[in-house]
Every structure is written in C-alpha cells, then in structure tokens.
Amino acid sequence: MSLNTVPFVSVANMMRLVHHIGVEQVLRDLAAAIEEDFRRWESFEKTPRLASHSAVGVIELMPTSDGRLYGFKYVNGHPKNTKNGLQTVTAFGLLAEVQTGYPVLLSEMTLLTALRTAASSALAARHLAPRDARVMALIGNGAQAEFQALAFRALCGISRVQLHDTDARATRKCAANLRHSGLEVVTCTSPEAAVEGAQIVTTCTADKQYATILTDNLVGPGIHINAIGGDCPGKTELHPDILRRSAIFVEYAPQTRIEGEIQQLSPDHPVTELWEVIAGRAPGRSHPDQITLFDGVGFAIEDFSALRYVHEQCGRTGFCEPLDMIADPDDPRDLFGMLMRAGPVSAA
Amino acid sequence: MSLNTVPFVSVANMMRLVHHIGVEQVLRDLAAAIEEDFRRWESFEKTPRLASHSAVGVIELMPTSDGRLYGFKYVNGHPKNTKNGLQTVTAFGLLAEVQTGYPVLLSEMTLLTALRTAASSALAARHLAPRDARVMALIGNGAQAEFQALAFRALCGISRVQLHDTDARATRKCAANLRHSGLEVVTCTSPEAAVEGAQIVTTCTADKQYATILTDNLVGPGIHINAIGGDCPGKTELHPDILRRSAIFVEYAPQTRIEGEIQQLSPDHPVTELWEVIAGRAPGRSHPDQITLFDGVGFAIEDFSALRYVHEQCGRTGFCEPLDMIADPDDPRDLFGMLMRAGPVSAA
C-alpha cells in the first residue's frame, strides 16, 4: 500500500478472517502469539494502562512496544451500556513501526479483545489448571462467555461447561450459541450447581462494583479459578478469603494490584506473573490440592500479540482495506503546499 | 449514522474541509475553540502525555476528557524521517462519549496538528506579544512554518515574516508557499538577519537534540519568543540564558518541565500556565521591555479543542465517511452469536 494509507480491518473483515481461519484455530493461534510474546516479556516496554474513569465507566489506552513495533488499544468498559442496547466493551487498536512512527495497521478490537481474552485465560489454565480438568463452571454468561468456553475446549481439552448467570436469558443465549460446539452444555440456576464437579471455575461478570460472585465455601481443593470480570478499581468478583487460600497468578503486577481481584489484598501480597511460569522462571501449579487463581485483567502485551497476529493474517488474506489516514506530501516538509495544491476545486 | 459506524475524516476530507471554510478562518476558529477550552481548564482531566521513546523518535498518546467527551491523539516525532521521504510528525485522533465509551469521531490529525499548533502559538502571542507587533522572524522553515505565518497574520496582525533555515531549500519552499498570502516575505541567510527588527521570534526546528537556534545576544528587550520546536526530553532550541531573562508561559507545567525549553531550568523555576492568563487569573505581558516566552510543546486539551471543532464541522458539512469499526450485535451480550451468524459464507 502507498505511504498515505493504513491497512484497516473493519468488523466485517474481522468476522471474515475468523471464519476463514476457524474460530478455534484463531483462539489457538492467539494463545501461541501471546505465549511467544510472554516468553520475551523483558523486551517489551510496560506501563499500567492509562484509564479515564467516570461514574458510569472507564476509557483506557493500553500501549506497549517491543522496539520494532508499537501497539496500543483503545477500550471502554461501561457495564450499564447493555440496558441501552450498547455493548459493555468496545475496542480498536493500532500497530506502528517504531523506526518511523508510521501506523501499519488499524483494526477493530471488540471481537479481537473477546478472542484474545479467552485465549489468554486458556493459556494461563494450560499452565495452572489440573492436567485432567474436563469440566468448567462458567459464571457470567455475557458477551465473553462463549469465547471462554471455546478457548478452554480448544486449548485445555474441556468437554463440559456448567453455565450460570443471575439473568437466565444470558444463560439461554450462551447455551444456544454453544449447541453445536462439541461441548456438553449444562445450565445451572445457582453458582453452587455450576461449580459442582468442576475443576476449573471461570468468573466473567461485568458489574462495576465489589461483588461476591464466588464465596469461599464454593471453592474446593485443587480448583483452578479463572477470574476475568474484576478488572477495574472497585470492581471485583471473589471473596478475599478465596484469594488468601490461592496461589495467585497475574499478567503484570503493577496494573493488577490497581485493577484486579488482588486490589482487596495488601500491596505486598505475593503474586507470580504468568510470563515467569511460561518462561520457566517460576513454578505454576505445585500440588494437586493447590488452588490456583488467574487474576486476569487484560494487559497491553496480549493486545500487541493479537494485533501482530491480525497484521500477519491480513497481509496474507487481504481481509483489510486501505484507509487514507496519513497526509503524505511529495516533499515531506511541504505539508502546507500539499494542502494548498489540493485547492478549493477539490471540494466535494 | 448507525451504532456500528464511526464518522471518519480522511486526509482528503480534512483538506476539503479546510478549503471549504478557508485556512485563515480555520486557524481563527481553532484558536477560539482552544481559548474557550482553556477558560474552562479546570473541568478537564489532565495528564502528561504517554511517550514511548526510541533512538530515532517518539510515539505519544495524548488523552483528556471534559466529562462529556473524551479525546486522544496518537502522534509520532521522527526528525530523521524526512531523509527517507517521510514526515517528521504524523497524527490521528479520536473523540468518544464519556457516557457510553463509544467513539463519535476518528480523524486524520497530521494536518489538524499543524493547524492547531499554529493557532495555539498565535493565541498565546495575542495575549503576550507587544500589541503593535507587525514583524515576525520565523526560524525553521519546515512543515510547520507556513501555518505559523498564516496564524500570526490572521490572529495577531503580523504583516511581514523574515525566514531563516539552515537548509536554504526549506526557506525557498516556505517563501514560495507564502507568495500569495498577503504577507511580506523576506528570506534571510542568518538567524541574526531574521531577528533584526522583529517583535516576535518563532523557532520551529525539528532536530532531536539540544541545539541553540537562538543565542542570548539575539534577543532584545520587549520581544515575544514563540518556541515550539523543543518538545522532547533532550530536544531544545534556546540558550538557557534567554530563559532566565524571560517571563515564561507554558501549556501544562508538569508536561513542559519534561519536554519543553524549561527542562534546562531547575524544576521550581517559576512559570505561568497560559490558561491562567486567558482566564484572567494571572498577568500576561507586564511591561513593554519584558521578554515573554511561550514554551509550546503541545497539550492534549488543544487537540481536544481541534477534534471538537472538526466534529462540529464534519456534522455540518458532511466531509466524513462512516467507518465499520464497532461490532454491534442486536443483543449487546450476543457478540459471539453475531460472529457465528456472519458465517463462513460471508467470506469474500
């Protein structure tokens, strides 16, 4: 493409890309991309995301760079949006060349965030959950639920999901969507029923408040908890007693201490960053009876991995379109001349 | 437009918009928008921009919010880009509703940044420069130069510009572009000649290093200096002795102390934020012999004002196009269902 255009992956093209590759394969590919980047964690520039909070939600910018590519994501979180027919989370992202600062990809990331969040969760579970886990409780059956179910099937061999949501319509929607997924799907009317017999418990609810989705008595020994709904200051899902019994794994501790479940703990409570486990620097699950907890809030490097993957795939498949986003005068110092030569005659 | 699309102002549409309204009118409008927002400075969320530095340049995110709208700009600064036919600065920006987090405008900002930077400089000078200033020295004749010249003509009544650049081709380009501007244009082979008889001195060079574009002996009493090229740690244009003799005005002190000319001074050196002058909270020029210095580095609120203006104008004129950037399922919790219903048959 020419200098002035940036390849853009629209929502329609993202859907084409996912269907072209297959959703479970995309989830596996994203997990592989994230794993690859987590292995070279130290080569990334890291900063907690820059959040703008309001009474009803949050808007965040999540940048990172590996020295060759720079990426960032814009993402909002507005739990009350669904009441007005809007989504809780929407996102888009960008990749640029560090060498020139020129963007090389603009992409929708609402779908991509759902995919990469599920891929990250399943990647963490592959390193932390019991090896023989086949049953997962899925508490919170909103926009993220099906992606989690499919990622755990594709990456961890989960064969049965037990669904629960305070809103039975959400559970019905989720069960219907998973009908032909190859998963055995059970709908449950209580968290207790959903957790019964599960080796993995995923919580992905969206209220922007302290909530107790999971109480201490529901968590038996040997369980892996995948807690991804608590991702904002003042927004948590687990009773603090569960945290105190668990070995806690996070993406990037300085950010998770602000946003994750562990905001309920003292700032020096020991946690392990997932990349350390992946890179063989720290143990994962150390005992069959251990409760492991992935306190996932989403980190910029995961989005970077996802954008990098989409960039590769969109070059390969052509599921993108050129966007006239960069002013490109013939003489780079002659921006004004370019503007003047465009002239009033070009007015549409 | 429908929920899933975001109005996008391409480079072509930005040029149409500028020609439709007229470049000098756009500069006046942008200055008015910035002035209006500076008057309500305290209603904005403020943070120094988030910069990612590399050996060859910087990539920055500049967010702010007034509680109703959230805006941010992506901008790079790569001085060596011009050698490869690329621009030093490219940019794009976004506005979103705080209430929902949904984007309401995506816009090119390479041209818009050049326009708003010039408008900010002229706005500052209107409050700080000698009232009778008619002659401006313009040192550094790159991509920003003509915009500065026109803004100072439109907003401050400058009638003559004296150009100098270490690269004579840049000066020739600038002079040629300003031929029909209504300005008397004089090209000078030295900074001394350019400064001679000028009441305003604008420096806008782009090297990413400590440089001394202006030495102390060139600056006489009563001058207003508009220093906009030094905008990065390690990148300055003025000799520190000039700073010590000047009343210094900045956009947002916490950012300018990192990036501006005043990085050469002690961190407690007194400076005045421009909004305080505009809001009548602090004096501007207090004496005809005073040297005033606007140490402009560019701040997020100026970009917010510019995006807000473009948003209004693009609604009015239609110089924008819908971009399929937001996934919008009928049931907001059914993102997965939307993806699945798109089906493999939609693959292009």
Chain A hits for B85, Cβ within 8 Å: 3, 332
Mean pLDDT for all residues in chain B = 93
Q: Which of A61, A98, A335 sits opposite B72 (nearest CB)?
A: A61
Residue of A nearest to B9 (CA): A325
Give the best residue of A10, A81, A333, A334 to mutate against chain B (max B CB count within 10 A).
Answer: A333
Mean pLDDT for all residues in chain A = 93
Residue whose pair of structure tokens reads 């036919």 in the numeric block: B85
Read off φ and ψ for residue B20, nearest 5 degrees: -60, -45
Mind listing the pLDDT tens digit for each residue in B235-258? 788 999 999 999 999 999 999 999
Surface of B (276-305) touching A: CB under 8 A: none
Surface of B (79-108) touching A: CB under 8 A: 81-82, 84-88, 90, 92, 94, 96, 98-103, 108
Q: What is the pLDDT of residue B102?
A: 96
Across the interface, whether the CB atoms of B3 and A319 are under 8 A apart is answered: no
Mind listing the pLDDT tens digit for each residue in A55-69? 999 999 999 999 999
B137 interface with A at CB cutoff 8 Å: no
Label each residue of A291-344 as H, E or C: EEEEECCCCHHHHHHHHHHHHHHHHHHCCCEEEECCCCCCCCCCHHHHHHHHCH
Can you tell me the mean pLDDT for A122-148? Answer: 96
A181 interface with B at CB cutoff 8 Å: no
Whether residue B61 lies inside any domain: the answer is yes
Catalytic residues of A, by residue number, are 231
User: In terms of domains, do B103 and B212 share one?
Assistant: no
Whether residue A340 lies inside any domain: the answer is no
DSSP string of B31-70, one letter each residue:
HHHHHHHHHTGGGSB----EEEE-SS-EEEEEEEE-SSEE
A173 interface with B at CB cutoff 8 Å: yes
Tokens of A116: 């990469």
User: In terms of domains, do B86 and B154 share one?
Assistant: no
CB-based burial, A228-255: b 16+ in 10 Å, e otherwise: bbbbbeebbbbbeebbeebbbbbbbbeb
> How many domains does chain A divide into?
2
A76 interface with B at CB cutoff 8 Å: yes
Low-confidence ranges of chain B (pLDDT < 50): 345-348
| CA trace torsion B104, B13, B138, B304 (10° rounding) | 0
Give the best residue of B54, B115, B204, B339 to mutate against chain A (max A CB count within 10 A).
Answer: B339
Mind listing the pLDDT tens digit for each residue in A4-36? 899 999 999 999 999 999 999 999 999 999 999
Whether residue A73 contacts residue A303, with contact meaning beta carbons closer than 8 Å, is answered with: yes
Across the interface, whether the CB atoms of A319 and B348 are under 8 A apart is answered: yes
B45 interface with A at CB cutoff 8 Å: yes
Q: Which of A143, A335, A348 sits opposite B333 (nearest CB)?
A: A143
Whether residue A107 lies inside any domain: the answer is yes
**How far is the CA of B215 from the CAs of B191, B210, B212, B219, in angstroms?**
9, 13, 6, 7
Asked if the model's pLDDT at residue A211 lies above 80, the reply is: no
Measured CA to CA, the distance from residue A228 to residue A301 in angstroms comes to: 16
Measured CA to CA, the distance from residue A120 to residue A124 in angstroms comes to: 6
Whether residue B127 lies inside any domain: the answer is yes
User: In terms of domains, do A27 and A164 share one?
Assistant: no
Across the interface, whether the CB atoms of B54 and A74 are under 8 A apart is answered: no
**Helix axes A23-39 and A110-128, enclosed angle (nearest 10):** 70
Q: Give the structural domain span for B102.
A: 5-111+301-327
Whether residue B332 lies inside any domain: the answer is no
Q: What is the pLDDT of residue A347?
A: 37
Tokens of A167: 């809103």
Longest dimension (CA), chain A: 75
- In chain A, which residue ranges form alpha helices assigned H by DSSP? 11-21, 23-39, 110-128, 145-156, 168-177, 191-195, 240-245, 253-259, 274-278, 300-317, 335-342
Measured CA to CA, the distance from residue A26 to residue A11 in angstroms comes to: 16
In which element (H, E) is residue B127 found? helix B110-128
Nearest to A230 by CA among A290, A302, A140, A162: A140
Nearest to B13 by CA among B117, B109, B145, B149: B109
The β-bridge relationship of strands A69-77 and A58-65 is antiparallel
Tokens of A345: 């005659």
Mind listing the pLDDT tens digit for each residue in A288-327? 999 999 999 999 999 999 999 999 999 899 999 999 999 9
Coil, strand or helix at A288: coil
Q: Which of B101, B147, B338 sits opposite A76 (nearest CB)?
A: B101
Confidence band (pLDDT; 50, 70, 90) for A348? very low
User: In terms of domains, do A163 and A253 share one?
Assistant: yes
Chain A hits for B344, Cβ within 8 Å: 19-20
Measured CA to CA, the distance from residue B74 to residue B54 in angstroms comes to: 16
Across the interface, whether the CB atoms of B61 and A77 are under 8 A apart is answered: no
Confidence band (pLDDT; 50, 70, 90) for A129? very high
User: In terms of domains, do B140 and B264 share one?
Assistant: yes
Give the best residue of B336, B340, B345 to mutate against chain A (max A CB count within 10 A).
Answer: B336
Whether residue A337 lies inside any domain: the answer is no
Q: Which of B19, B331, B337 sits opposite A343 (nearest CB)?
A: B19
Can you tell me the mean pLDDT for A180-190? Answer: 96
User: In terms of domains, do B33 and B103 share one?
Assistant: yes
User: In terms of domains, do A195 and A246 share one?
Assistant: yes
Whether residue A172 lies inside any domain: the answer is yes
User: In terms of domains, do A211 and A255 share one?
Assistant: yes
User: In terms of domains, do A258 and A183 share one?
Assistant: yes
Read off φ and ψ for residue B117, nearest 5 degrees: -65, -45
Tokens of A58: 């949050």
User: In terms of domains, do A195 and A132 share one?
Assistant: yes
Q: Which listed residue (B37, B165, B231, B295) is catalytic?
A: B231
Whether residue B133 contacts residue B200, with contact meaning beta carbons closer than 8 Å, is answered with: yes
Can you tell me the mean pLDDT for A268-294? Answer: 97
User: In terms of domains, do B225 and B314 share one?
Assistant: no
Whether residue A243 lies inside any domain: the answer is yes
Across the interface, whether the CB atoms of B344 and A173 are under 8 A apart is answered: no
Give the best residue of B52, B56, B70, B173 to mutate against chain A (max A CB count within 10 A).
Answer: B52
User: In terms of domains, do B48 and B17 share one?
Assistant: yes
Tokens of A81: 């949006």
Q: What is the pLDDT of residue A346?
A: 41
Q: Which of A11, A81, A346 sits opposite B332 (nearest CB)?
A: A81
Mind listing the pLDDT tens digit for each residue in A44-100? 999 888 999 999 999 999 999 999 999 999 999 998 898 898 998 899 999 999 999
CATH number at residue B125: 3.40.50.720
CATH number at residue A95: 3.30.1780.10
Across the interface, whether the CB atoms of A147 and B336 are under 8 A apart is answered: yes
Residue of B nearest to A75 (CA): B101
Across the interface, whether the CB atoms of A337 and B177 are under 8 A apart is answered: yes
Half-sphere exposure of B29 (CA within 13 A, CB side): 18
Q: What is the pLDDT of residue A344?
A: 66
